[in-house]
Amino acid sequence: MIKCKCCNKHTNNPKFCSRSCAAKTTNKIPKRKKQINYCSLCGKETGFFRRKFCTNCNPMNRDWDSITYGDAIKARKYQKNSRIRNLSRRIYKLSGKPECCMVCGYDKHFEVCHIKAISSFPKTATVGEINNINNLIALCPNHHWELDHGNLILPVGIAPT
């Protein structure tokens, strides 16, 4: 038989006789303090655990409005337009446009799609031009498929300029 580390009762458990004894012992250990990280470039607090740079100094922060379509797809070998699509969803959500299908009004699930296809833009076009809010529309999956396959004609006010 082994003695409990908390109350010295005999137990078959290697450390504690009960959960309450385990909790009493564990709760006596002081909590670790939150680690504060500072930016490697400017010295400001990063605000996030394990981050080397603050938001302003982060080299991965990009101005996507000035990056060309060619540069954006050059960095990816698989699903080249995925970053552009992710940015388009964020832009649409922040725009305040209705989050439902523009054709049928279905609001359980919608997809943000480009009226003028991403691949139809020249490589010199900026990501800002491709993801212009006037080129984005919310559609249900069925109408999105129809638009992509040429079976859906958009109303005059929605068609691209």
- The helix or strand, by DSSP H or E, that contains position 113, with its residue range, turns out to be strand 111-114
Task: Give the whole-angstrom CA distance, residue 84 versus residue 112.
Answer: 11
In sequence order, the β-bridge partners of residue 10 are 3
Q: Tokens for 68?
A: 């060309």
> What is the per-residue pLDDT across 98-123, written as a single tens digit (0 to 9) for each?
999 999 999 999 999 999 999 999 99
> What is the per-residue pLDDT across 1-17, written as a single tens digit (0 to 9) for each?
788 888 988 888 888 89
> What is the per-residue pLDDT across 110-157, written as a single tens digit (0 to 9) for each?
999 999 999 999 999 999 999 999 999 999 999 999 999 989 888 766
